[in-house]
């Protein structure tokens, strides 16, 4: 039977046999080649674990080959190389979870892997695409990359060396913005290759002053990809005298705020447009979220085909699904920097 990775208990995952999943309406069945790890993966195993999470399949980002089509799918055929996002880590569907030999994907939340791009590189896009679409375009309302700003205006991407951050830098640049970001000095060159016009050390005591100067004191839009204590203060203090809009990528303490700063927050799972829950909190599924996400994934597909987007640097961990245990521990201990962990499914013992 096909192999999948699931939560056994808090802090523990295990490889199990599961029946072959069947694609439904507008879905595709994918034989995975590579899957990529995100912070939400280790957080759900270690920090967001709740009673009843046992047995939940984990993982969001996948890349592989289409082997079956659900009803209504016309954009793909069997044999196509595809990558996308699956609703793993939460009890959204019994067949959810990208860390598996076979995965169900949504045809409109995936893209064809361009010729010349490896499965490993393609697997790094999934969650990043979902969150960039939400943060920059659904909430911060940046100009669509196909209709970029006539005159550049500043946008701050706090944490540009993260997988979401590096993709946000590229999209913001395509939207015609002056792109400001933060990173460790060792990653300065990397974020500049991804589109950053100015980059500052997030540990610099004068970072607020420097961001204001780089933006001409006109910063009004920012996204926080890190969302740790203190990042909110740095960002809001960097806004122009008239305030601005800040979008956070996870539910965290968003104080202190200036009264003239509008703050929003979203979860990547909103792209599916159905109700979902995390840490005991339930969130509604909004049709408009799915509609927006579908449009953004189509755009991403087109930009990748035109070679206008670069993948995030990846690091392959040996052992396939068995290696995920090591990878989750590495991310929990903050041992990663400017790289995304990837696992080759064929390296899994027993496959």
Q: What does the alpha-carbon distance between residue 263 and residue 244 come to, in Å, rounded to a whole number? A: 9
- Please tell me whether residue 121 adopts helix, strand or coil conformation: helix
What does the DSSP 8-state code read for residue 194?
Answer: T
208 Cβ partners below 8 Å, 6+ apart? 234, 237, 238
Distance of CA 27 to the CA centre of its chain: 20
- Please tell me whether residue 90 adopts helix, strand or coil conformation: coil
Residue-wise pLDDT tens for the chain (351 aa)?
999 999 999 999 999 999 999 999 999 999 999 999 999 999 999 998 888 888 899 999 999 999 999 999 999 999 999 999 999 998 666 668 999 999 999 999 999 999 999 999 999 999 999 999 999 999 999 999 999 999 999 999 999 999 999 999 999 999 999 999 999 999 999 999 999 999 999 999 999 999 999 999 999 999 999 988 789 889 999 999 999 999 998 766 666 568 899 989 888 899 999 888 887 778 888 999 999 999 999 999 999 999 999 999 999 999 999 999 999 999 999 888 899 999 999 999 999
CB 227 within 8 A of CB 210: no
Q: What does the alpha-carbon distance between residue 321 and residue 242 come to, in Å, rounded to a whole number? A: 50
Report which of 69, 57, 41 is spatially closest to residue 101, judged by C-alpha positions. 57
């Amino acid at each position: 039977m096909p192999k999948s990775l699931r939560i056994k208990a808090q802090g523990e995952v295990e490889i199990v046999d599961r029946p072959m999943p069947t694609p439904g309406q507008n879905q595709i069945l994918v034989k995975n080649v590579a899957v990529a790890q995100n912070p939400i993966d280790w957080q759900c195993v270690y920090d967001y674990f709740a009673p009843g999470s046992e047995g939940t399949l984990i993982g969001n980002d996948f890349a592989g080959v289409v082997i079956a089509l659900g009803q209504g799918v016309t954009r793909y055929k069997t044999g196509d190389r595809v990558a996308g996002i699956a609703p793993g880590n939460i009890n959204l569907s019994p067949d959810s979870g990208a860390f598996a030999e076979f995965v169900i994907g949504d045809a409109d939340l995936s893209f064809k892997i361009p010729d010349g791009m490896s499965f490993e590189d393609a697997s790094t896009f999934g969650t990043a695409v979902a969150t960039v679409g939400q943060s920059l375009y659904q909430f911060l309302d940046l100009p669509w990359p196909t209709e970029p700003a006539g005159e550049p205006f500043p946008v701050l991407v706090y944490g540009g060396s993260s997988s979401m951050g590096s993709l946000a830098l590229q999209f913001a640049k395509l939207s015609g913005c002056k792109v400001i970001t933060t990173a460790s000095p060792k990653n300065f060159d990397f974020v500049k290759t991804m589109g950053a016009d100015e980059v500052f050390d997030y540990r610099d005591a004068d970072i607020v002053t420097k961001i204001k100067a780089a933006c001409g004191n006109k910063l009004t839009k920012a996204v926080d990809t890190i969302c740790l204590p203190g990042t909110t203060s740095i960002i809001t203090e960097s806004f122009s005298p008239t305030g601005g809009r800040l979008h956070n990528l996870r539910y965290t303490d968003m104080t202190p705020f200036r009264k003239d700063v509008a703050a929003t927050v979203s979860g990547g799972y909103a792209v599916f447009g159905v109700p979902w829950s995390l840490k005991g909190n339930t969130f509604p599924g909004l049709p408009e979220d799915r509609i927006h996400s579908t449009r953004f994934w189509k755009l991403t597909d087109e930009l990748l085909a035109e070679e206008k987007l670069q993948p995030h640097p990846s690091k392959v961990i040996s052992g396939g699904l068995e290696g995920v245990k090591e990878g989750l521990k590495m991310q929990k201990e903050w041992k990663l920097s400017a790289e995304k962990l990837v696992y080759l499914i064929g390296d899994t013992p027993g496959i």
